[in-house]
């Protein structure tokens, strides 16, 4: 196996499946099965889940809400998604721990870095909820931050697109995909697959990111085994 410890980032929207809002349990179960295949291969996995399928601070601000208040609501939304993923993972027989950056003692542990690492060493999948715990950040940044903290080997950003393109492939048919690209180029060209803070954190800490299509069954395992799928940012 190429990696010992992986941080997987799943956006909230990816949990919607074909729905326009909320959570599609079938989709979440498919992700759980994919994650299990990597887990069964002996790789340690931590997951950061977004909340955009339920609530986004920035969008709420545009309709008049206070940004910080809205961002806290967005962070709570991520915890709902984390609980859905936790449920699905346990349904397929994987032991998990959910840690939240905002304390919610009745449903999950608080985020404690050393404890998270210990869970991983004991073979549990750790799900990180509530992003960084701070407004004005994103769960992409949370993914980079947590990955660095727990000394993951790579951040895998699972999306519905199979990598980073020269332009938005849904709008520009001439767009081509990068197999590999540097952080400087991604930031310089404004290729907004993740936010700049997330990229910068990884760049400064020499942590590679792979952007790949998580909806293609088996892709996650192939990447974990070292196959060149998606776009590698380093």
Which residues are near ligand UDP by CB under 6 A? 11-13, 50-52, 56-58, 70-71, 74-75, 77-78, 131-132, 134-135, 137-140, 142
- Residue 10 known to bind ligand: yes
Q: Which residue is nearest to ligand UDP (CB)?
A: 50
Nearer Cβ to ligand UDP (75/154): 75
> CB of 131: closest distance to ligand UDP in angstroms?
2
Nearer Cβ to ligand UDP (16/38): 16
Nearer Cβ to ligand UDP (36/56): 56
- Residue 137 known to bind ligand: yes
Nearer Cβ to ligand UDP (64/173): 64
> CB of 25: closest distance to ligand UDP in angstroms?
17
Tell me, letter by letter, the H, E, C secondary structure of the chain.
CCCCEEEEEECCHHHHCCCCCCCCHHHHHHHHHHHHHHHHCCCEEEEEECCCCCCCHHHHHHCCCCHHHHHHHHHHHHHHHHHHHHHHHHHCCCCEEEEECCCCCCCCEECCHHHHHHHHHCCCEEEEECCCCCCCCCHHHHHHHHHHHCCCCEEEEEECCCCCECCCCCCCCCCCECCEECHHHHHHCCCCCCCHHHHHHHHHCCCCEEEEECCCCCHHHHHHCCCCCCEEEC
- Residue 153 known to bind ligand: no
Nearer Cβ to ligand UDP (159/219): 159
- Residue 159 known to bind ligand: yes
> CB of 186: closest distance to ligand UDP in angstroms?
17
Which residues contribute to the annotated binding site for ATP? 9-12, 52, 56, 159, 165, 168
């Amino acid at each position: 196996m190429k990696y010992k410890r992986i941080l997987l980032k799943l956006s909230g929207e990816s949990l919607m499946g074909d729905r326009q809002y909320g959570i599609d349990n079938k989709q979440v179960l498919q992700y759980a099965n994919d994650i299990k295949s990597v887990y069964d291969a002996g790789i340690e996995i931590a997951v950061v889940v977004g909340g955009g399928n339920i609530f986004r601070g920035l969008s709420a601000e545009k309709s008049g809400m206070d940004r910080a208040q809205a961002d806290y609501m967005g962070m709570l939304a991520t915890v709902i998604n984390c609980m859905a993923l936790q449920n699905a993972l346990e349904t397929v027989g994987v032991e998990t721990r959910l840690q939240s950056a905002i304390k919610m003692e009745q449903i999950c542990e608080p985020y404690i870095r050393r404890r998270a690492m210990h869970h991983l060493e004991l073979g549990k999948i750790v799900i990180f909820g509530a992003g960084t715990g701070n407004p004005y950040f994103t769960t992409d940044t949370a993914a980079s931050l947590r990955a660095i903290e727990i000394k993951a080997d790579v951040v895998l950003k699972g999306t519905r697109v199979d990598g980073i393109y020269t332009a938005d492939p849904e709008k520009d048919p001439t767009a081509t995909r990068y197999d590999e690209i540097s952080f400087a180029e991604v930031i310089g060209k404004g290729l907004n697959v993740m936010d700049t803070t997330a990229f910068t954190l990884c760049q400064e800490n020499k942590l590679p990111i792979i952007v790949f299509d998580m909806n293609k069954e088996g892709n996650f395992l192939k990447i974990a085994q070292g196959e060149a799928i998606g776009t590698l940012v380093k």
